[in-house]
Amino acid sequence: MAAKVLIALLSASLTASQVTFQNSTGTRLRVDNGTYGPPIEETNIHLDYDQWPIGIAVASDGRIFTTYTRGSYKYTLGLVVNETAEEPYPSADLNLPPDQLNTTWNGIPFGSSNASAFISVQAIYITPATSSRPETLWAIDTGRPTVHNAQGDPSMPYAQPGGPKLVAISLSNNSIYQTYTFPADVHYPDSYLNDLRFDFNPNLSDTSGAGIAYLVDSSNEGRPGFIMVDLGAGTTWRRLTQDASVLRGATDIPSYQGQPFYLRQSGMPITTGQQEGLDGLQLSLDGSRLYYSPLSQRTLYSIPTANLRTPPSDPRAEVHAHANVSSHGGRGGDANGFEGDSNGFVYQLMPEHNAIYYFDPADGLTHGFVRDPRIIWPDGASVAADGYVYVNVNQLPYQPDWNDGVDGRTYPGAVLRCKLPGNGTKVASLYEY
C-alpha cells in the first residue's frame, strides 16, 4: 500500500518530457527493433489456414512440401498448390484416416503398425537426382500420432514396428519407391524420429556403397540418439543413445517473445521447460562430420560420421563415438531444426530469438543471420536451389498441448523465405556420385 502512494506522488511530478511510453514511439533511447539481416519475404510463398505446419522441403522445380503431425488432421504430408492451399501428397489414399492412426493391445494404446501408409510425418528432406536415383523426397513417419482421451488430455501412444519408417518418394513420378522400417531394438516404442540427412558417397566406411541416412531420435521419454540406415542393405542401428550431448537440458527454461515458458500439458504438472533432446542435425560438406544439438541445450556438438557408421558388432563402437564427440561451445540459446548450404554454414533455428543463426566451421563461431518478429517458432527450414532458405513458422509454444489445453495460436502458419549469405545454395557435394 505504501509503495502505491509513492508511485502516485512520483507520477504527479512528471513533466511532459518525462511521459512513459508503452512502445518505442517518441523515445530518445536506443531501441531494439527486433530485426536484422536480409528481408524476410512472406508474399507468394504460403500461408496455412487449416493445419499447423512442422516440416518443409523445397524441390528443384520450386514445389514446396510441408508436413503436419497428427492428430486429427486429415493428412500429414502436403504439396503446396497456391498461396493458401495444400493437397495431400503423393495421394490422399496414402494417409491413414484419423481413426486408424492408433490401436489398442491388451488395453495399452499403440500407434498403427501400417508400413504402407502415413501415420504422422514429422520431417522431410530432398536429395537431388543422381546417376542411380531420381530427385527424392525422403519422409520420416514417427508412427506416433497424438491422441486425446475422454477428458481431452493428450498423449502419444508407443510406436509399433512397421509404423515408424523412412520413405523414399520419386519427385519424377510421385510414387514411393522404397520404405525402410526398424526392428524394436533400433526404434524403441518411445522413440520419435525427428529429422534426417543423407550422404550418397559410395566409399563410406562400414556401408554397402549405396549411401546412408542419419536420423534423429528425439524421444521426449528420455532415450534420444542417432539411428542410421544403410540405404543399400536396409540395415539399421543406433549410436550415442543417452549420451550427454543428446539429452535434454534438464533445467532449461526457454523464453519465447520475452516470456519464460513452462510447458504444461492438460492433466499434468508443469515441467521444467522443454522436454525434447536431440533435434537438429547437419552434415559437413564432405560428409565427414555431423553437427547436432538437443532442442533444450545451448551447446552445438559434432561427431566424425565414421563413429556413427561403425557397426554395433564392434564392441568399442559406443566408447569411441562418445570419446570423439566435440563441443563447439555455447551458441546463445536453444536451437530447433538445422539446415546447411553450399558455404558449409550450419543454420540453426532459434525459437527464443525469432532468429536464424549459423555456425561457420571456418572460424568456429556462431553468427546471427536473420531476425524478425514474424519468426514465431521457426520449426523447419529448407535451402533451395534458388539461393533462399525457406522456413516454417508455426507458433508451437502456444499450442494447446503445451498450455493446459488453451490454444493461443492465430492462423495463418506461414512459409517465409530470405536470401542466403555469400551466394549460398543447396548442398550438392553429398550427392554428386
Ligand X SMILES: *[C@@H]1O[C@H](CO)[C@@H](O)[C@H](O)[C@H]1NC(C)=O
Q: Which residues lie near ligand X (CB under 6 A)?
A: 21-23, 25, 33, 35-36, 81-85, 93, 96, 102-104, 109, 114, 116-117, 134, 147-149, 170, 173, 175, 177, 201-203, 306-307, 320, 323-324, 422-423, 433
| Cβ pair 352, 346 in contact under 8 A | no
Q: Of the candidates 317, 292, 289, which has an alpha carbon nearest to the alpha carbon of residue 304?
A: 289
- Judged by beta carbon, residue 95 or residue 274, the one nearer ligand X is 95
Residue of 159, 158, 155 whose CA lies nearest to 147: 155
Report the C-alpha dihedral over residues 200, 205, 209, 211, rounded to 10 degrees.
-30
Angle at 332 between CA 331 and CA 333, to 5 degrees: 105
Q: How far is the CB of 95 from ligand X (least distance, A)?
A: 8
Measured between alpha carbons, how far is 43 from 49 in angstroms, rounded to an integer?
15
CB of 116 to ligand X, least distance (A): 5
Beta strands 108-111 and 102-105 are antiparallel
Minimum gap (Å) between residue 279 Cβ and ligand X = 24
Distance in angstroms (rounded) separating the CA atoms of residues 84 and 64? 12
Single-letter amino acid, residue 138: W
| Shortest distance (Å) from residue 1 CB to ligand X | 28
Beta carbon nearer to ligand X, 11 or 149: 149
319: left (phi over 0), alpha (psi -120 to 50) or beta: alpha
Q: Using the minimum distance from each CB to ligand X, give the nearer residue, 116 or 404.
A: 116
Dist. CA 242–CA 11, nearest whole Å = 56
Query: Between 160 and 336, whose beta carbon lies closer to ligand X?
Result: 160
Residue 298 vs 405, nearer CB to ligand X: 405
Q: Which of 319, 406 has the CB closer to ligand X?
A: 319
What's the closest the beta carbon of residue 397 comes to ligand X, in angstroms? 24
Q: Collapsing DSSP states into helix, strand and coil, what is residue 295?
A: coil
Minimum CB distance to ligand X smaller for 82 or for 410: 82
For ligand X, which is the closer residue by CB, 104 or 313? 104
* Minimum distance, C-beta of residue 75 to ligand X, in the bound complex (Å): 12
CB of 205 to ligand X, least distance (A): 8
- Residue among 114, 117, 115, 166 nearest 137 (CA): 166
- The type of residue at 90 is P
Q: Are strands 121-127 and 136-141 parallel, antiparallel or unpaired?
A: antiparallel
> C-beta of 23: minimal distance to ligand X in Å?
4
